[in-house]
Amino acid sequence: MSFKTLGLSDKVLSAVEAAGYTEPTAIQSGAIPHVLERRDVLGIAQTGTGKTASFTLPMLTLLEKGRARARMPRTLILEPTRELAAQVEENFEKYGTNHKLNVALLIGGVSFAEQDKKLDRGTDVLIATPGRLLDHFERGKLLLQGVEILVIDEADRMLDMGFIPDIERICKLIPFTRQTLFFSATMPPEIQRLTEAFLQNPAKVEVARTSSTSATISHYLKAAEGKDFEKRAVLRELLEEAEDLQNAIVFCNRKRDIGTLFRSLERHGYNVGALHGDMDQRSRMTVLENFKKGTITLLVASDVAARGLDIPAVSHVFNYDVPSHAEDYVHRIGRTGRAGRSGTAFTLVGSDDQKYVEAIQSLIKQDIEWLGDAIDFEAAHQARKARKRGKNQKPNNDNAAQPAPAEKQRPLSEKPDFTGEDKNITRTKQRAPMDTKNKKRVEKKSDEPAFGSGVHIPAFLLREPRPKKAS
């Protein structure tokens, strides 16, 4: 099958041919005809199969008729991350070379004024993250009544990042008669509920089993026991022994580990960069651009890079931590083995990661091969239980000091009455009586010493008082 059989316009076919593509992928050949028929589409495919072009190409064909009005976009594409939104914009620039369409990108970290200028001149294609889109709407700079096509991309990632309430609110602001294109790599129950609410009689295009990994990826588990520095040593060993390593992404679960691992690899002479969500937009885009160009060989990243990168030539992926969500494993290793290329992924596993490994294997419905000796999770579990019992066991020592018995509390009836006189109570300090005439307290003379025996008396208190000068 070729792109010419899908019903795309001549302008789009010319741009696709200029980009070097001749045959569509499975998701493209399945989704594009339904999009051109103005039907709602539910597309399910693993990452790296060309989902972006499956809605970009038919949208360009449909947008050849009509024109945009100020602050009223004709189409809206929602993306979970800034990087993925920028990637979609690049697709429109690449395939829309023969079109005169206005494309606007609304993401955080960019000036509102520049984005307002693009909206004021009319936008055919609006690509946005949910938060920044609602910011413009609440400021009165954006109207959504003219949206004809709505694309919700990477819906499962939207769920993970907590964007679903924003998505539901945005859908209420868009005309009910819109065309909705819904794409996701996995289909958890929450996403299934959204499809039933947002889509009207959709054409379901599923080119691969939900939550499956690409057949072009070889992935392995590697035991990495011990402390953090020993785990980093295992990673460096894998980097040295990896065959045909051109570049690689190293995924960490926690942002603080990204900085630590980045500095460690840099000290050992690796050409490395770091990427996580707390970085400003300019730094993130600079790191990504350097990684795409090959200036940076290793990229230590959080899950913000699991779906926001479109770099076909990533040869390896390393999971420094086992992802706590099984779906994230599919997306992480999906950064390699894209566009029919082969890729390799390694995951460092500790003895505490048994439930995460089992969840991943249950999701992808296959056992992952161990590289080297496998971890005996049952033995490790028993060892942890034994250590816990040892800590909780009390030492059997007859000479151990016994805690002093608690002092018996006196009954309330035997407690002294501090409000009255009690001969059994010796008051150590009493306030001097008040001289009502001079409004001064009169010091009470007493033959008792001011300090008891054994009390250290400062030297200045032992000096003789100075005689008063005669007036």
Q: Specify whether 260 is located in the same domain as 153.
A: no
User: Does 276 fall in a domain?
Assistant: yes
C-alpha–C-alpha distance, residues 21 and 449, integer Å = 105
Mean pLDDT, the chain, integer:
84
Q: Specify whether 202 is located in the same domain as 278.
A: no
> For position 428, what pLDDT does the model report?
44
User: Does 376 fall in a domain?
Assistant: yes
Residue that terminates a domain, selected from 322, 356, 385: 385
Q: Specify whether 199 is located in the same domain as 331.
A: no
pLDDT tens track for 266-286: 999 999 999 987 888 788 889
119 close to 144: Cβ distance less than 8 angstroms: no
> For position 224, what pLDDT does the model report?
92
User: Does 414 fall in a domain?
Assistant: no
Whether 82 has a pLDDT exceeding 80, the answer reads: yes
C-alpha–C-alpha distance, residues 118 and 78, integer Å = 17
User: Tokens for 88?
Assistant: 């979609």
Q: How many residues does the chain have?
A: 471
pLDDT tens track for 394-427: 555 555 455 555 555 555 444 444 444 444 444 4
> For position 160, what pLDDT does the model report?
79
User: Does 454 fall in a domain?
Assistant: no
Q: Specify whether 242 is located in the same domain as 186.
A: no
Q: Tell me the whole-structure pTM to 2 decimals.
A: 0.67
Q: Specify whether 296 is located in the same domain as 169.
A: no
Residue that terminates a domain, selected from 365, 385, 405: 385
Q: Which domain holds residue 344?
A: 217-385
Confidence of residue 457 (pLDDT cuts 50, 70, 90): confident
Q: Specify whether 195 is located in the same domain as 256.
A: no
Residue that terminates a domain, selected from 369, 385, 401: 385
Q: Specify whether 308 is located in the same domain as 163.
A: no
C-alpha–C-alpha distance, residues 91 and 57, integer Å = 9
pLDDT tens track for 28-54: 999 999 999 999 999 988 766 788 999
The CATH number of whichever domain residue 283 belongs to comes to 3.40.50.300
User: Does 128 fall in a domain?
Assistant: yes
Q: Specify whether 262 is located in the same domain as 147.
A: no
361 phi/psi in degrees, rounded to 5: -65, -30
Coil, helix or strand for 81? coil
Q: Specify whether 156 is located in the same domain as 269.
A: no
Helical axes 51-62 vs 82-95, angle rounded to 10°: 50
Whether 303 has a pLDDT exceeding 90, the answer reads: no
In order of 52, 54, 127, 289, 332, the CA distances from 106 in angstroms are 18, 22, 6, 19, 26
Q: Specify whether 129 is located in the same domain as 230.
A: no
Whether 227 has a pLDDT exceeding 60, the answer reads: yes
Percent of the chain whose pLDDT exceeds 70: 83
> For position 385, what pLDDT does the model report?
78
> For position 16, what pLDDT does the model report?
94
Q: Specify whether 298 is located in the same domain as 176.
A: no
User: Does 25 fall in a domain?
Assistant: yes
User: Does 461 fall in a domain?
Assistant: no
Residue scoring higher pLDDT (309 or 302)? 302
Coil, helix or strand for 16? helix
User: Does 247 fall in a domain?
Assistant: yes
DSSP 225: -
Q: Which residues contact 15 (CB under 8 A, 6 or more apart)?
A: 60, 94, 95, 96, 97, 98
Q: Specify whether 37 is located in the same domain as 172.
A: yes
Q: 210-231 burial, b for 16+ CB within 10 Å, e for fewer? A: bbbbbeebebebbbbeeeeeeb
C-alpha–C-alpha distance, residues 9 and 57, integer Å = 9
Q: What is the edge-to-edge ordering of all strands in the sheet holding 343-349?
A: 272-275, 298-301, 248-251, 316-319, 343-349, 217-223, 369-370
DSSP 448: S
Residue scoring higher pLDDT (361 or 453)? 361
pLDDT tens track for 144-177: 999 999 999 988 888 878 899 999 999 999 999 9
> For position 43, what pLDDT does the model report?
92
Question: From the centroid of its chain, how far is CA 224?
Answer: 23
Whether 345 has a pLDDT exceeding 70, the answer reads: yes
> For position 421, what pLDDT does the model report?
45
**Considering its fold, how many domains does the chain have in total?**
2
Instruction: For tokens 């958890």, name the residue.
Output: 188
